[in-house]
A and B are shown apart, each in its own frame.
Chain A
Amino acid sequence: MCCHQLTSHSFVLLVQPRRQHYKLKDMITRSEEASEMAQKQAARFDLLLPEDAGFLEGDEDEDTPSTLYKNIDLNSKQLMCEINVMESVNDVKWLHSEAMYAVAQKKWLHIYDSNGIELHCIRKFNDVLRMQFLPYHFLLATASATSFLQYLDVSVGKEVAAICTKTGRLDVMCQNPHNAVIHLGHSNGTVTLWSPNQKEALVKMLCHQGGVRSVTVDKTGTYMVTSGMDKKLKVYDIRAFKPLKSYFLPAGASCLSLSQRGLLSAATGDIVQVYRDVWNTPVSKPYMAHRVQRTIWGMNFCPFEDVLGVGHGEGFTSMLIPGAGEPNFDGLDANPYRSAKQRQEWEVKALLEKIQPELISLDPTELGQVDRATFEQRHQDRVKALGFDPLAKEKFIPKYKKKGRSSTGSVERRKRQVAHEDQRDVIRKTAEDKMKIEKERKKREKKEAVLSSQRSALDRFKK
């Protein structure tokens, strides 16, 4: 009965255009409904968001060549701490909260707290030039002068990956906030994309004829803006890796930064230029421009604020750029107004929801796809992950026996006793089957011969 059902079912599957199981139908319709509802609800929720601009403690990562650096709260414009590290400072980055920041000094990577007290000196990370912090993964990615790209898990303090990029000094770096892929710019005009899971670049793009001077990616991970030594500013669609726009800046941009609303600020010498909507319409002149005292070293937009912080030879300048910051913030994600208690809770929650570094890939939706790799490939991956082959048999080593019974001959015999033990049953069975078939065939032939009973003259020679 059961067998019959099965066969009939399979028959149906084979012959008819597959009929959907009602469970499947329900499942699909339900998930569709749910996603539709989620979308609608989200849209409705969005409308309720206040339209005010927010404020956040400064996320200013200034590259100051001097040994002195200051830590300023942009909200209250108060100095939080000031230390002299007696070394050159290559880069400074806040970690997940305003309580800690990482400083790439001349030799090692240091981590300080908000009062300027040194928490760690990480000797594994040397000659760091640039850093990026991946907030959802709690990863600090560093690019060093020795062409090493290293990932430090800040939550557990372990190095996740160290990749030798073999492309020389790495002093241009940015992250794609959409998929946490690190973009590195090189002196041969290429921009490479990296994840901690792969020892080679995910993508290598030739962007400029000269070296790449600066790279940024917009918030949605759609566009990448690069500037190079050939004085060009290029806009790429980073999803398709296709160039969208190419501009020629007379002086070439040394530093690029994209705001949350998609304003692009470019530093050409001592002039800060801000462009609006670089990717859709061909821009012919800047939205805003400002000349600062001396050459610009670095700049960054302040999140949720219309402020652009510019670090230059004379110090620090903050510019007001109307329309730069995102006025609608998600209070659950990044709340500029959060209290100390909320911050603590957020920290715990964020740690619980930390995304593992293995999940970083070019396409973040890849996790939701079915892995169609073959069994072999999967097995290989498993072997690689475990460090040994779980399916491998251990080799038979015959026990040593005394009294001359462990002679080479006997050892070999013993080995032969064990050899192919797992296959023996199968082989025996197949051999038996073969014999049976042969026997039957012979029987049939005999019968036929008897029935036909037409003996030819040559039959006498048959055995």
Chain B
Amino acid sequence: MAKVSKKKVSKKSLKKSSKGTAKIAEVKPDVVYDDDGDDDEEGLYNADENITSEEDEDGEDERKRHKLLEAISAIGGKRKKKLGERSEAAVQMSEFTVNAEGEGDKVDLSDLIGTMEKTSAVPAKAKKQLKNLQRSTKTIECPLSKQESQRIQRDVAFQKAATEVTRWKGIIKQNQRAEQLIFPLNQEPSGPKPMERVVTGWKAKTPLEQEIFALLSANKQPIHDPVLTPTEEASMRAMSLEEAKIRRAELQKARALQSYYESKARRERKIKSKKYHKVQNKAKRKDFVKQFDEMVRSDPAAALDELNKMELSRMQERMSLKHQNSGKWAKSKAIMAKYDEGARKAMQQQLEVNKELTQKLVTSLNDKEEEEEEEEAEVLPDFVNDAEQGLDSSNPWMRGKLSEEPTEKEISDTVVLKAEGPGAGGNTVVVVEEEEEEEEVEETEEEALLREFDSRRKLRQAQETDIISADAEEKKAEAGDPDTSDKEEEELSEFTSLFQGMADSRREAEAEQAEAAADASHTDTSAQLEEGLMRIRTLEDVELLSQEAADEAPVQPQEPPATENLASATPKAGKNRKRKRGIELKTVLTKEAKVIQVPLAPTVEDTEDSDEKLDQRGLIREAFAGDDVVSDFLKDKRKQEDAGKPKVVDLTLPGWGEWGGTNLKPSRNKRRRFRIKTAPPPRRKDQHLPSVIVSEKRNSSISLHQVNSLPFPFQNHAQFESTIRSPLGRTWNTERTVKKISKPKVLTQLGAIIEPMAREELMKDKKQASTGNTSIVDSRKRNH
């Protein structure tokens, strides 16, 4: 827009400057307009000049005026270009000394569009577009070279491919990190699929099927989930876990009982002894009679039922030819009957049985027996079940018919229970009675025990008076305890002072050794001194020293046990003894051992300081006066320590750099310069254990089997050692653990084609990964 304004300004100035040149002005608007695109004012002036130069003949006035104008414009500070004459070598000069308008400038869009405004043939849309174009200052860059464009293309393609590939990154990483990969990757789980999955994919197509499905859905029968109907599911939901457990337990029990019963029955049926069966039957019969009696009393209806049953069986017996000696066996017996007494008898018996069974019921009792007999011939007598049912009414298995009118059943159950009252109730009564009896017995037993204890106590007291010596000893020991502890403390203080003295001397010795290796004599004397010190020590001292040493250690692991434990142990022991005298139960039980207990009892170390034991100690000391075990040991230890220390190497040569000769020692300075010290060795393992020498030798045999360089991903020894810490073998682990530990990294199915991952896998895995990640996070949270 700025340009436009400028043009306007230039126009005005022109008008101002030349009123006389109206003609020119008339002609010019076009020119000016033409030049509108031109930015410069100079161009405009140029044009003016041009025209003036072309119309030379216009006269002197004209020229003067022009000159004036020129002068004015020169005053205005704007230089005008000299044109028309070739005075200098210039590019923009034409051969006709004509200066082409705007030759040096580029052709602009506005130059071309200028006339468009007026021509109506050009559509408005195109005009607008062109204007827009005109307004935009951007220039179209020249096309790139082939190489460059190709490079860019390649770049773009790479980026595209990279983005495509990075989408797989997650999966790849996941697979790399996976503990185990099973190929082919998207395996369908083998084995039977759940019914639902198979069914859901299937739809009813034929009219018959549709009809069936309509029926099923109308009756709320399961279509997709063929296992449970909605009502069943509801009931399932209604049943709580505990209930389910209880019910399961009940079922289990019932099943177990049934199986027990069945096996028992099977076993009994297999028994071939006739006598056994006879006895058994008799017993059962008796039982049944008893029950029936009760039933008659308590539940006439049931009794009637039973009677009816018996009647039925009688009828059956009468109808059948079972006991009528008409079978194969009977015929063979009949042949033998002439000669064989037994056969005859058997036949007779059969007939008798028949008679019995077909006898009309006169009294209920008789018939019941017969009935029973027959029933027992069958496998499972009903009453057995009945009885059990009575015993365990809660057991569903024992209920017989589950669905049949539970309320009535319950009532009957209760009735039965009542009926069985004499049986069961009697039992309970018996039990109660027994318990009472037992209590009585216990009471009596307790009394007896108490009496026994009393008598024993008396006896023991008598014995104690007899064996007073032992007790006296113990008492002495107890009395001596505080004294001994005091003594201990004193001794301790002594030892500490001794030890400190020794440590000081040792320190001195070390310092001296470091300072002057040559001063052997001095160290010798110190060593002698130390030996003199050591002579006094005993083993106890050494132990105390060890504890002292442990105390001196920065950690201070167990300071109190040194003195306090020992001190506290004795009173405790005394207390224990007292308490035991109060209880005395164990001594009662091991009375025989007690007789020889006195010589056996080991006493805690402190008590040994009583007079008698001191004597013993003295004896021992006398016996081993020759070999001072402790000092020997300490010497040995010192030797080992010294051997482990690095030696100071003295490389001084006499006579080099100074005078040499007899009675001339190399100077101290020189000696110091040529003494080679090595780094102090690491601390000995037995530094704080004076009574222990631990060998510092390297066990090279095991190093052959050790890992001697850190394997790749590990960054320090501890990491590696922690990972190989736990054993892998079957000897130390359960089978499951072994399987988990020794899982192969990659599993391939034999014969299966392993195909590259499909793009669908990517999407699936993304979902999985997102869920998996969350689950991992969850598990971690749980862990921490």
Contact = CB atoms under 8 A, between A and B. Distances in A.
Contact of B599 (A24, A207, A251): A251
Contact of B697 (A24, A200, A284): A200
A368 B724 contact: yes
A337 interface: no
A371 B701 CA distance: 12
A198 B623 CA distance: 34
B723 to A, nearest CB: 4
A97 to B, nearest CB: 18
A242 B689 contact: yes
A209 B703 contact: no
Nearest to B173: A22
Interface string B707-740: 1111001110101111111100001111011001
B719 A28 contact: yes
Contacts of B686: 241
Contact of B624 (A35, A210, A289, A368): A210
Given A232-B605, A246-B605, A41 B593 contact: no
A282 B569 contact: yes
A189 B538 CA distance: 12
Nearest to A332: B731
B775 interface: no
A288 B630 CA distance: 35
Interface stretch (A52-60, A299-307, A358-366, A403-411): A358-366
Contacts of B717: 369-370, 372
A31 B596 CA distance: 57
B597 A289 contact: yes
Interface stretch (A373-381, A436-444, A445-453): A373-381
Contact of B701 (A31, A201, A232, A358): A358
A367 B706 contact: yes
A188 B693 CA distance: 14
B692 A206 contact: yes
Interface centre among A21, A45, A230, A233 (most CB of B within 10 A): A230
A198 B593 contact: no
Interface centre among B607, B624, B632 (most CB of A within 10 A): B624
B1 to A, nearest CB: 55
A192 B576 CA distance: 36
A384 B740 contact: no
B763 interface: no
Interface stretch (B257-265, B444-452, B539-547): B539-547
A331 B746 CA distance: 34
Contacts of B702: 197, 358-359, 361, 366-367
Given A37-B740, A188-B629, A24 B715 contact: yes
Given A45-B734, A353-B731, A370 B710 contact: yes
A248 B732 CA distance: 41
B733 A42 contact: yes
B328 to A, nearest CB: 53
B172 to A, nearest CB: 13
Given A241-B694, A369-B706, A271 B604 contact: no
B742 to A, nearest CB: 10
B705 interface: yes
Given A26-B177, A28-B719, A268-B600, A378 B734 contact: no
Interface in B598-618: 599-605, 607-608, 613, 616
Interface in B264-280: none
Contact of A203 (B538, B693, B736): B693
A397 B706 CA distance: 39
A88 interface: no
B620 interface: yes
B620 A210 contact: yes
Interface of chain A: mostly helix, strand, loop or mixed: mixed
Contacts of A359: 701-702, 705
A250 B602 contact: yes
Interface string A229-272: 11111000000011100111111000000000000000010010
A232 B613 CA distance: 12
A385 B702 CA distance: 11
Nearest to A188: B629
Contact of B593 (A31, A275, A289): A289
B111 to A, nearest CB: 55
A248 B722 contact: no
Interface string A323-367: 000000000110000000000000000000100001101000111
B382 interface: no
A222 interface: no
A23 interface: yes
Contacts of A291: 596
B179 interface: yes
A370 B546 contact: no
A188 B627 contact: yes
A290 interface: yes
Contacts of B81: none
B577 interface: yes
A370 B620 contact: no
B741 interface: yes
Nearest to B780: A29
A208 B707 CA distance: 40
Contacts of A204: 633, 636, 692-693
Contacts of B623: 210
A320 interface: no
Contacts of B633: 188-190, 204, 206
B715 A18 contact: yes
Interface in A23-71: 23-24, 26-28, 30-32, 34-35, 37-38, 41-42, 45
B691 interface: yes
A205 interface: yes
A367 B708 CA distance: 11
Contacts of B694: 202-203, 241
B633 to A, nearest CB: 5
Contact of B692 (A205, A251, A378): A205
A248 B602 contact: yes
B120 interface: no
A41 B603 contact: no
A200 B616 contact: no
B577 A370 contact: no
A26 B173 CA distance: 12
A136 to B, nearest CB: 10
A283 interface: yes
Given A209-B624, A284-B577, A22 B177 contact: yes
A32 B719 CA distance: 11
B600 A286 contact: yes
A37 B607 contact: no
A242 B546 contact: yes
Contact of A248 (B576, B608, B698): B608
A385 B721 contact: no
A370 B720 contact: yes
B706 A188 contact: no
A202 B640 CA distance: 13
Contacts of B599: 250-251, 268, 271
Contacts of B590: 288
B721 A370 contact: yes
Interface of A: 18, 20-24, 26-28, 30-32, 34-35, 37-38, 41-42, 45, 188-190, 195, 197-198, 200-210, 229-233, 241-243, 246-251, 268, 271, 273, 275, 282-286, 288-291, 332-333, 353, 358-359, 361, 365-373, 377-378, 380-381, 384-385
Given A189-B633, A282-B572, A332-B731, 7 more contacts: A197-B701, A206-B633, A248-B607, A282-B604, A284-B577, A373-B703, A384-B700
User: What 6 pairs between A and B have smallest CB-CB spacing?
Assistant: A24-B713, A35-B726, A371-B706, A381-B700, A358-B701, A31-B723
29 contacts: A24-B719, A26-B177, A27-B713, A30-B179, A38-B732, A38-B733, A38-B734, A41-B733, A42-B732, A200-B695, A200-B697, A202-B694, A204-B693, A210-B629, A231-B620, A241-B686, A247-B603, A248-B603, A248-B604, A250-B602, A282-B604, A284-B573, A285-B601, A289-B597, A290-B593, A358-B704, A358-B705, A368-B721, A368-B724
